[in-house]
Amino acid sequence: MSNEYAVEMRDITKKFGGLIAADSVSFKVKPGEIHALCGENGAGKSTLMNVLTGKFLASSYSGEILLNGNKVKINSPKDAKKEKITIVHQELELIPDLSIAENIFLGNQPTTATGVNWKKMNAEAQDILEKFSLNLNVKTKIKYLTVGQQQLVEIAKAIYLGGNVLILDEPSAPLTGREIDFLLATLEKLKKTGISIIYITHRLEEVFKLSDRVSVMRDGKMIDTFSTKEINVEELVAAMIGRKMENMYPDMDTEVGDVTLEISNYSVPHPLYDTNIVEDASMKFRAGEVVGISGLLGAGRTELMSAVIGAYKMKGNGTVKLNGKEVKFNSPAAAIKAGIGYVTEDRKMTGLILNQSIRFNVSMASLSRIIEHGVLSPSKEKVIVNELKDGLHIKTENIENPVSSLSGGNQQKVVLAKWLATKPGVLILDEPTRGVDVGARFEIYMIIKELAAQGNTIIIISSDLPEIIGISNRVYVMYEGKVHGELLKDELGEDSIMRYATGIA
């Protein structure tokens, strides 16, 4: 038997109840290749990888798995590990209250006769971080890291664990320019050692930068596998969504009105050190505007906006005015009441209650709109939630299903629906399309533009440069906690943003 393929999945069919998440899927990966796996939210990408990495008992699906030409049964994550398959899951799996080092060596700690060998563990962990150019102290608890840093720790851990097959399920979603470039360069290097890398992403530019081949899934089926060199972005998108897409960003002019939110000389103390994580930031936002906030990981974007609305663990100092009146929010609930919605960066931690229904999650921030004469109106609630479900194309049969049953991108749409339901005058979106597929992204951009056209203010924090350029009227760029530049529509470009974001300009 030839060993042309490191991994061969044959006719995999996996059902969840009546739903066919993988429908007779075949997928082959060569040794030493980077193989991108693309498809819309809910297409079945994570399910296929979960099959390969032992999340499900082999008896719960049909089909065969071959590794280097040999048939194997993978019944558990342990089996996958034995077969030298490593995965970085779409949702972060680190334990917040343990240190970086403890997380890296979880279940695998070096020991002495009397217990864990802390010294050895910490030293080795520090070594791994350094190899990965991560400037963090390994004794820091995971919960003090940003989502992007957590992701880098997970990737460093996976690469350190090694194996013959490395699967990354949307690894770049929380990362920004420099970190992504570093990740891609690291994977290029790794590939040369002969291992196979399966790379799931919704950022199509990464597919073209990185992959040798790309496979596309749609509605649980494997549509095709292409050599990346032989396909262009339009063809790839067409394979993913089953039709041609004319435009990535809606073209819509909005009328700009008065200043709604104004932040002046605003600083936020660092939670751990005796410095400011945001320093003397001033920004103005007007009705009818979509304003982007750009910057690298750790530039202070999320800290600034979450402190302003009372969602950050540290209190900020400075002036915040809403429609000309000075305001101070001690909690996001107070901000919502005043008409500011905030879509959080980290849906698992702060955005959603996963085991509750879609209906519950969507309506929980807007109960005041759904309550009639002091009682919750279930019929009104259903109408509002169903409208948003249809508008955002949330892929589910029933809004009573738990959020945990949705694919990652569809969970993100639920977060967005929750805030849209509050009808905020000012809507702050922190990485709103993270993990969202191209088709749904366009729908979200349309909604953003429509909200702006209705006179609302939209503030969008995004690490996706094409997105922030495509959708914003204006962009503030932050660098090391400071507002480092402001770019108007006709000055917007990847170069101009990166110059400010890296402190060159």
What residues make contact with ligand ATP under the rule CB under 6 A?
16, 19, 21, 39, 41-47, 90, 395, 405-410, 437
Tokens describing residue 24: 């007779």
- Among residues 212, 146, 152, which one has the least CA distance to residue 182? 152
Confirm or reject binding of residue 408 to Mg ion (CB under 5 A). yes
> CB-wise, 90 or 151, nearer to Mg ion?
90
> CB-wise, 274 or 390, nearer to ligand ATP?
390
> CB-wise, 301 or 395, nearer to ligand ATP?
395
Angstrom distance (rounded) from CA 436 to CA 43: 12
Footprint on residues 3-42 left by Mg ion (CB under 5 A): none
Taking the complex as a whole, the smallest distance from the CB of residue 34 to ligand ATP amounts, in Å, to: 18
Angstrom distance (rounded) from CA 290 to CA 369: 25
Count how many residues are written for the chain: 505
> CB-wise, 37 or 421, nearer to ligand ATP?
37
With CB cut-offs between 5 and 8 Å by kind, which of Mg ion, ligand ATP, none does residue 456 bind?
none
> CB-wise, 286 or 395, nearer to ligand ATP?
395
Under 8 Å between Cβ of 344 and 430: yes
Q: Using alpha carbons, list the distances in angstroms from residue 466 to 40, 204, 206.
A: 19, 11, 12
Confirm or reject binding of residue 46 to Mg ion (CB under 5 A). yes
With CB cut-offs between 5 and 8 Å by kind, which of Mg ion, ligand ATP, none does residue 43 bind?
ligand ATP
Residue nearest to ligand ATP (CB): 409
Read off φ and ψ for residue 460, nearest 5 degrees: -125, 120
Taking the complex as a whole, the smallest distance from the CB of residue 47 to Mg ion amounts, in Å, to: 8
Taking the complex as a whole, the smallest distance from the CB of residue 127 to ligand ATP amounts, in Å, to: 33
With CB cut-offs between 5 and 8 Å by kind, which of Mg ion, ligand ATP, none does residue 405 bind?
ligand ATP
Name every residue whose Cβ is closer than 8 Å to that of residue 141 and which is 6 or more positions away in sequence: 96, 97, 98, 99, 100
> CB-wise, 389 or 474, nearer to ligand ATP?
389
Taking the complex as a whole, the smallest distance from the CB of residue 145 to ligand ATP amounts, in Å, to: 23
* Widest pairwise Cα distance in the chain: 75
Under 8 Å between Cβ of 415 and 344: yes
Taking the complex as a whole, the smallest distance from the CB of residue 108 to ligand ATP amounts, in Å, to: 27
With CB cut-offs between 5 and 8 Å by kind, which of Mg ion, ligand ATP, none does residue 67 bind?
none
Confirm or reject binding of residue 411 to Mg ion (CB under 5 A). no
Taking the complex as a whole, the smallest distance from the CB of residue 404 to ligand ATP amounts, in Å, to: 7
> CB-wise, 20 or 184, nearer to ligand ATP?
20
With CB cut-offs between 5 and 8 Å by kind, which of ligand ATP, Mg ion, none does residue 395 bind?
ligand ATP
Taking the complex as a whole, the smallest distance from the CB of residue 274 to Mg ion amounts, in Å, to: 41
Tokens describing residue 106: 């979880």
Footprint on residues 315-344 left by Mg ion (CB under 5 A): none
Taking the complex as a whole, the smallest distance from the CB of residue 240 to ligand ATP amounts, in Å, to: 10
Specify burial of residue 488 (Cβ count, 10 A radius: 0-12, 13-18, 19+). Answer: exposed
> CB-wise, 47 or 99, nearer to Mg ion?
47
Angstrom distance (rounded) from CA 405 to CA 377: 26
Tokens describing residue 262: 């104004």
Taking the complex as a whole, the smallest distance from the CB of residue 44 to ligand ATP amounts, in Å, to: 4
Q: Using alpha carbons, list the distances in angstroms from residue 118 to 77, 110, 156, 304.
A: 26, 8, 19, 36
Following DSSP, what letter does each residue of 92-160 receive, concatenated? ----TTSBHHHHHTTT---EETTEE-HHHHHHHHHHHHHHTT----TTSBGGGS-HHHHHHHHHHHHHH
Site map (CB under 5 A) of Mg ion, residues 84-103, x = contact:
------x-------------
With CB cut-offs between 5 and 8 Å by kind, which of Mg ion, ligand ATP, none does residue 47 bind?
ligand ATP
Under 8 Å between Cβ of 240 and 216: yes
Angstrom distance (rounded) from CA 99 to CA 61: 37
What's the half-sphere exposure (Cβ side, CA atoms, 13 Å) at 27?
Answer: 31
Taking the complex as a whole, the smallest distance from the CB of residue 200 to Mg ion amounts, in Å, to: 7
322: left (phi over 0), alpha (psi -120 to 50) or beta: beta
Residue 462's CB: how many other CB atoms inside 10 A? 24
Taking the complex as a whole, the smallest distance from the CB of residue 432 to ligand ATP amounts, in Å, to: 14
Confirm or reject binding of residue 44 to Mg ion (CB under 5 A). no
With CB cut-offs between 5 and 8 Å by kind, which of ligand ATP, Mg ion, none does residue 14 bind?
none
> CB-wise, 38 or 158, nearer to ligand ATP?
38
With CB cut-offs between 5 and 8 Å by kind, which of Mg ion, ligand ATP, none does residue 42 bind?
ligand ATP
> CB-wise, 45 or 191, nearer to ligand ATP?
45
Under 8 Å between Cβ of 471 and 433: no
With CB cut-offs between 5 and 8 Å by kind, which of Mg ion, ligand ATP, none does residue 95 bind?
none
Q: Provide the binding-site residues for Mg ion, judged by CB under 5 A.
A: 46, 90, 408
